[in-house]
Amino acid sequence: MRTEQEIMDLILGVAHADERIRAVLLVGSRANPAVPKDIYQDFDITYFVADIAPFYNNPAWVETRFGKPLIMQMPETMRYPDGDGNFTYLMIYPDGVRIDLSFKFTKYMDNREPAIVLLDKDNGSGFLPSLPAPSDKCWHIKPPSPLFFYSCCNNFWWCLNNIAKGIARDELPYVMHMLNSYVRSELHDMINWYIGTRHGFNVSAGKDGKYFKKFLPPELYTQYTATYSSSDYADIWTSVDAMCDLFHMLAIAVSAHFGFNYRQNEEEGMREYLRIVRENT
């Protein structure tokens, strides 16, 4: 696999050689100082150009300069293009390097996500403003309002009824979708808030909780891993029990921290419903 420096030299070499490319921006995990470095990080690169036409849906131009990838995706040519006039090439190369190369023709709007200016041929008078030092602060866990806390709790317990009915009806795809898309989403919110209460709401647990292991006490992370199941219904019921017990413990801790009201009666009502359905299947 090529080194980070080799890829950066390639990216900047292409930009320096083409006057139409006026600026180069690095975003994503490689621009985020809070993300541990490894060889699997993408190179999320934006080339800013005055005229998008020569670079729009022109994979030959990219392959000539960066090489032929193992696989390429061009989102703007697919089923759900974003339609903003920009263009992106997502590429994985034979040595395992991934480059996500975007071409943009509009001035960069700082959204406070980590970003590093690699090249600016116009010295701040063109596409790129002066940017602060990169930080992941925009992704830090945010404290819940009382309404958000209640909504999370209510929806967690409510949506479990669909899982129970799905198991009773032998509708495995539906069960898994409800379990891992809806119920797990609420569990993740509660885990995030719990982590926030322990770390002062100045950390990010990462996309889809990928850093839960880093921030949760080992015994709680072990409980969390037990919320994943195989396709066996008995195993799914066990994972549901694990989810319920973990959510209860976290919700009680979060509610105590903020002085929120936790509606234990709603939990008890759904646990009783789950018992009824489970006994009938």
Q: Are residue 166 and residue 116 in the same domain, yes or no? A: no
Q: Are residue 129 and residue 211 in the same domain, yes or no? A: no
Tokens of 208: 């889809």
Q: Are residue 19 and residue 62 in the same domain, yes or no? A: yes
User: Residue 82: is its pLDDT beyond 80?
Assistant: no
User: What CATH number corresponds to the domain at position 75?
Assistant: 3.30.460.10
Domain total in the chain? 2
Residue at which a domain ends, from 95, 120, 136: 136
Q: Are residue 25 and residue 124 in the same domain, yes or no? A: yes
User: How far, in Å, CA of 102 to CA of 255, rounded?
Assistant: 43
pLDDT bracket for residue 80 (50, 70, 90) = confident
Q: Are residue 171 and residue 112 in the same domain, yes or no? A: no
Residue at which a domain ends, from 88, 103, 136: 136
User: Residue 81: is its pLDDT beyond 80?
Assistant: no
Q: Are residue 124 and residue 174 in the same domain, yes or no? A: no
User: How far, in Å, CA of 26 to CA of 37, rounded?
Assistant: 15
Q: Are residue 124 and residue 225 in the same domain, yes or no? A: no
Whether 156 and 101 have beta carbons less than 8 Å apart is answered as no
Number of Cβ atoms within 10 Å of the Cβ of 130: 8
Q: What domain range is 132 assigned to?
A: 4-136
Q: Are residue 115 and residue 74 in the same domain, yes or no? A: yes
Number of Cβ atoms within 10 Å of the Cβ of 179: 23
In tens, the pLDDT along 43-73 reads 999 999 999 999 999 999 999 999 999 999 9
Number of Cβ atoms within 10 Å of the Cβ of 274: 20
